[in-house]
Structure 1
Amino acid sequence: MSEKLVHSGDEAIDPPPAPVGFFDPVLKSTRRNVFIQWTRTVSILCVFVLGVLSIFWGSQFAVEKNYTALTVWVVDFDGQTPYDSSNTLIGPVVKNVTNQILSSSSLHIGYEIRSPEQFNNDPWSVRQAIYDEHAYAAVIINPNATTLLRSAISNNNQSYDPTGAIETVIISARDEATYYNYILPDLTILQASIIAAFGPLWARELVSGNTDLSSVPPQAINPGIGFTNIDLRPFAPAVTAPAVSIGLIYLIIIAFFNFPFLIPIHAQFMNSKDHPPLKVPHWLLWRIVSNIVAYFFLSFFYSLVSLAFQIPFSNEPASDVISAESANAYGQGSFVVFWMLNWVGMAALGFPCENMAMILGMPWSSFFLIFWVITNVATGFYAIDLAPVFYRWGYAWPLHRIVEALRTILFGTHSRIGLDFAVLFIWIVVSLAFYPVATFIMRWKMRRGI
């Protein structure tokens, strides 16, 4: 059989070479180049994994060291108010237990004993301060707590409620993970310690007063005091969790993949043989506007998922100092604000991705996606107060501002939504200013086949 494949005329084409083994001498040069490129690529990947994942792990590295950043105020209105303040018992016990915890070597959150005068002797002002996020929680010894307890004994007040003596005030929708993992367990220990310290002192007072205990309210004897736990903005319902946490990762991913899906479509304006190419400024303007419109619709359908699974979007706002579940900040208009935030947030997350995709190209732009996800998650889903000082840049990262604004919209937490939107718009403006540069780099690399 002839070794040539003969076509029309006298033209002949050599058949493809037969496959050879991996160690065939003819592949020596190719093997060397493959080994070098494989080693270089894997080394880059290893260094990248070590560096970028260290950012994520590092966000939790100093949690125990920074426990005291979780400030909890202890405010005694029992003995330092215009009310009856003679011979108080409950307030001093709470403060003594708090001081014992502060002086101990055990791990504890940042308790601070505050004077009622700092709040104009008004317990409601303490609640307002917690809502305004000046501290994470407060332990409030209510006015006349000791007087009411003694009155229950002396006047046989069967309606006495021990839980009216002390309040603990939190706002778990501010950061449910921090409250459930760190603050609430510590507050439970504090409460148990207060009850344990108060019991013997109260029993001694009752015995020394020769009080006839046969007809007094039993709850006034034991436990005598208790706690009313007030969550100004509970984190509920559970279905809201994806909207303010893991679900936002998909917001980043959707924004990132907008580029590879649409760039072949945009390229038709420049590469077609059927018409002259579009002017570059017009092409850039088309790409920017079409991306913004794409984000508009993508963010709408992303937002519809939350609406479909019945996350509340039509509750009325509530008072700052009253506990309210799912108190939507904007009432009936909350879904629209939610959608607009996701739209602006997607643009703030997406345009940097597109810039880096044009500069780095595939597959290296995946590096930026991983970096972008990790840095945003590390500073958006975890309390920056508990992270090392290095992570303070996270306050300017897009996802941190999105999460903060979402909590305001969904739960009615303390609002910084103007600042949140402003930071997101800054990301968009800076990205768009860099957009022509990134496009030039992409076209330069394409011309040179890089």
Structure 2
Amino acid sequence: MGEERDVDFSLSVRDPHIRQARNKTIKTLLMYFALMTVAVWALLSVFWGSTYKLEYYFPNVKVYVYDYDSAANPNAILGPSVVQYLVGTTSTRPHMGVIVRDPSGKTFDDVASEIVGEKAWAAVVINANATSNFEQAIAGTGGLLEGEWAPEGAISLVVAGSRWFQVILEYLLPFLGRYMETPTLEASHQAAASFFSSASPDALGTLTATQQAALATPFAYQNIDLRPILPKQWAGAAPLEAGLIYYIIFAFHIAIILLFSRMPLQQSMQKQGVRISWLHTCLLRLGPVFVGYFFLSLAYSLINIAFLLPMDGNGYAGFGPQGGFMVFWMLNLLTIFALGLAMESMLTLLTLRFFPFFLISWIILNITSSFFPATLAEHFYKYGYAMPFWHTTTATKHIMWGARNRLGLNFGVLVAWCALSFCTLCLFELMWRRIEERKERKQRAKDVEGQAK
């Protein structure tokens, strides 16, 4: 027995007895390597392309400009300077999509509603008292905030940071900040020069500290974030980015575990020459999935609570923390069904042999839709508005930070994905059943023909 075992384990991969199997293995590997190379170029190009020439598409980012200063003061200094400069920036790239709006009849609350409602990405509000406050401050008759000069009240850059914090905090606000430097500096020089040109030496010698501060910095700007991500809430970035990738991976593990758990039952039925009905085959596929997804979605939701993430939209949503958690859990449950049932369906169609190519495609197409907005990419990337990731992240931003409410649309699209994958899974099971039945009929016909001969 020992000698036979030594002989069994002494076979070389170059042995001529296994040439056929060896050649088949090499061909299979070459095919997979070729497919993987194609997948790298095809799929990663989609992701790389979503950030390629990002600044080229900045004109798609609408920025409303409201000049209340000129509307309130016929001799306004700041308003015309800022408007003229911002309009001038549109002649060269990169630039934002500056749109000058009529401030008549609009309050700041109306502007805020436009930004939260995503009519525009930001608003530059030149406040009505910008020039008059400066004039009153240097005249010593007012224009102060709590007894001090506050030049940053002249201009407000209004955004909703949680809408897409990667874009707003990293690109939009820095860009607008640079936009504000030149016109505010020019207007400040003009305002100071106007005062010095008419002021007497005696008046200059008796300037108060407040007047000196106003002359030193007549105008400045401030950022107003209507839907901010507050301190200690940045863990909320996890379920918006990498967290959903991990979510797909967990769903993939469930699909693989269930696949191998069904094998003993299938092998047993095959040996006995029996087969369960198509309906019960679908129940066998879907029943354990429901249980697995239920507990996975609950765990995924609770981990966000463990890291103290808000569930009430920071007070801007129409529900409290308890109701918000239930909405969040239902969102995650529908998300895992939308993502996981699609994988179960494609695993049925492609089999385990080619399923990994769908998995990487599913991840990349989804993550691309939620990493950067389609506004800053080619028209092709608008496909992302139909992907589960986009709707999950959009709904999560509302639940956590009170960004625009699209819950009805978000839940509706996720339900549609669940229904589509449920139907295709059942149809693919039926397709393979018909294929196997056809093969069996042909085999029986051959056996009968052989017996007849």
| TM-score (normalizing by structure 2) | 0.86
Once residues 169 and 290 of structure 1 are traced to their aligned partners in structure 2, the CA distance between those partners, rounded to angstroms, is 49
Q: Structure 1 unaligned segments of length 5 or more: list them.
A: 6-13, 319-326
Shift of residue 69, structure 1, vs aligned partner? 1.2
* Residues 1:45 and 2:36 are matched in the alignment: yes
Q: Which residue of the partner structure matches residue 148 of structure 1?
A: 133
Once residues 243 and 214 of structure 2 are traced to their aligned partners in structure 1, the CA distance between those partners, rounded to angstroms, is 49
Tell me, yes or no, if the aligned pair for 2:60 and 2:375 is still in contact at 8 Å. Answer: yes
Amino acid at match of 2:34: S
Once residues 30 and 265 of structure 1 are traced to their aligned partners in structure 2, the CA distance between those partners, rounded to angstroms, is 29
Once residues 71 and 289 of structure 1 are traced to their aligned partners in structure 2, the CA distance between those partners, rounded to angstroms, is 48
Once residues 55 and 249 of structure 1 are traced to their aligned partners in structure 2, the CA distance between those partners, rounded to angstroms, is 16
Tell me, yes or no, if the aligned pair for 2:122 and 2:159 is still in contact at 8 Å. Answer: yes
Q: Which residue of the partner structure matches residue 9 of structure 1?
A: none
Q: Which residue of the partner structure matches residue 443 of structure 2?
A: none
Shift of residue 24, structure 1, vs aligned partner? 4.8
Shift of residue 368, structure 1, vs aligned partner? 0.8
Once residues 138 and 90 of structure 2 are traced to their aligned partners in structure 1, the CA distance between those partners, rounded to angstroms, is 33
Q: Which residue of the partner structure matches residue 279 of structure 1?
A: 277
Q: Which residue of the partner structure matches residue 170 of structure 1?
A: 159
Shift of residue 446, structure 1, vs aligned partner? 7.7
Q: Which residue of the partner structure matches residue 226 of structure 2?
A: 232
Amino acid at match of 2:346: M
Shift of residue 47, structure 1, vs aligned partner? 1.1
Amino acid at match of 1:91: G
2:119 counterpart (122, 134, 137): 134
Q: Which residue of the partner structure matches residue 258 of structure 2?
A: 262
Shift of residue 33, structure 1, vs aligned partner? 3.3
Q: Which residue of the partner structure matches residue 196 of structure 2?
A: 207
* Residues 1:415 and 2:409 are matched in the alignment: no
Once residues 377 and 145 of structure 1 are traced to their aligned partners in structure 2, the CA distance between those partners, rounded to angstroms, is 44
* Residues 1:54 and 2:45 are matched in the alignment: yes
Shift of residue 15, structure 1, vs aligned partner? 9.7
Amino acid at match of 1:96: Q
Amino acid at match of 2:215: I
Q: Which residue of the partner structure matches residue 196 of structure 1?
A: 185
Alignment deviations for residues 203-226 of structure 1 (CA, whole Å, 9 cap, x no partner): 221112226243342221121112
Tell me, yes or no, if the aligned pair for 1:316 and 1:331 is still in contact at 8 Å. Answer: no
Distance 1:34 1:292, change over 3 A: closer
Alignment deviations for residues 203-261 of structure 1 (CA, whole Å, 9 cap, x no partner): 22111222624334222112111212110111231111102221111111112221111
2:68 counterpart (70, 77, 87): 77
After superposition, residues 13-24 of structure 1 pair within 5 angstroms as: 19-24=10-15
Tell me, yes or no, if the aligned pair for 1:358 and 1:441 is still in contact at 8 Å. Answer: no
Q: Which residue of the partner structure matches residue 80 of structure 2?
A: 92
Q: Which residue of the partner structure matches residue 214 of structure 2?
A: 220
- Which of the pair is proportionally richer in helix? 2
Query: How many aligned positions are there?
Result: 425
Q: Which moved more, 1:267-276 or 1:48-57?
A: 267-276
* Residues 1:397 and 2:387 are matched in the alignment: yes
Q: Which residue of the partner structure matches residue 444 of structure 2?
A: none
After superposition, residues 173-188 of structure 1 pair within 5 angstroms as: 173-188=162-177
Once residues 258 and 17 of structure 2 are traced to their aligned partners in structure 1, the CA distance between those partners, rounded to angstroms, is 42
Two-structure CA RMSD over aligned residues (Å): 2.8
Once residues 114 and 69 of structure 1 are traced to their aligned partners in structure 2, the CA distance between those partners, rounded to angstroms, is 17
After superposition, residues 272-351 of structure 1 pair within 5 angstroms as: 272=268, 277-313=275-311, 317-318=315-316, 330-351=320-341
Amino acid at match of 2:361: F
Alignment deviations for residues 24-46 of structure 1 (CA, whole Å, 9 cap, x no partner): 55555444434333322211221
Q: Which moved more, 1:436-445 or 1:146-155?
A: 436-445
Distance 1:446 1:182, change over 3 A: farther
Once residues 315 and 27 of structure 1 are traced to their aligned partners in structure 2, the CA distance between those partners, rounded to angstroms, is 65
DSSP 3-state at the match of 2:69: coil
Tell me, yes or no, if the aligned pair for 1:317 and 1:331 is still in contact at 8 Å. Answer: no
Alignment deviations for residues 133-170 of structure 1 (CA, whole Å, 9 cap, x no partner): 11111110111321121111223435332122111111
Amino acid at match of 2:85: V
Once residues 28 and 263 of structure 1 are traced to their aligned partners in structure 2, the CA distance between those partners, rounded to angstroms, is 32
Amino acid at match of 2:132: T
Q: Which residue of the partner structure matches residue 242 of structure 2?
A: 246
Distance 1:35 1:277, change over 3 A: closer
Q: Which residue of the partner structure matches residue 322 of structure 1?
A: none
Q: Which residue of the partner structure matches residue 446 of structure 2?
A: none
1:115 counterpart (97, 102, 108): 102
Q: Which residue of the partner structure matches residue 449 of structure 2?
A: none
Distance 1:172 1:18, change over 3 A: closer
Q: Which residue of the partner structure matches residue 321 of structure 1?
A: none
Shift of residue 101, structure 1, vs aligned partner? 2.0
Tell me, yes or no, if the aligned pair for 2:367 and 2:389 is still in contact at 8 Å. Answer: yes
Distance 1:106 1:283, change over 3 A: closer
Amino acid at match of 2:293: Y
Once residues 108 and 313 of structure 2 are traced to their aligned partners in structure 1, the CA distance between those partners, rounded to angstroms, is 27
Once residues 398 and 187 of structure 2 are traced to their aligned partners in structure 1, the CA distance between those partners, rounded to angstroms, is 39
Once residues 351 and 389 of structure 1 are traced to their aligned partners in structure 2, the CA distance between those partners, rounded to angstroms, is 28
Shift of residue 443, structure 1, vs aligned partner? 5.2
Shift of residue 121, structure 1, vs aligned partner? 3.2
Once residues 175 and 223 of structure 1 are traced to their aligned partners in structure 2, the CA distance between those partners, rounded to angstroms, is 32
What's the % identity of the aligned pairs? 31
Amino acid at match of 1:192: E
Once residues 329 and 241 of structure 1 are traced to their aligned partners in structure 2, the CA distance between those partners, rounded to angstroms, is 21
Amino acid at match of 2:117: D
Distance 1:258 1:26, change over 3 A: closer
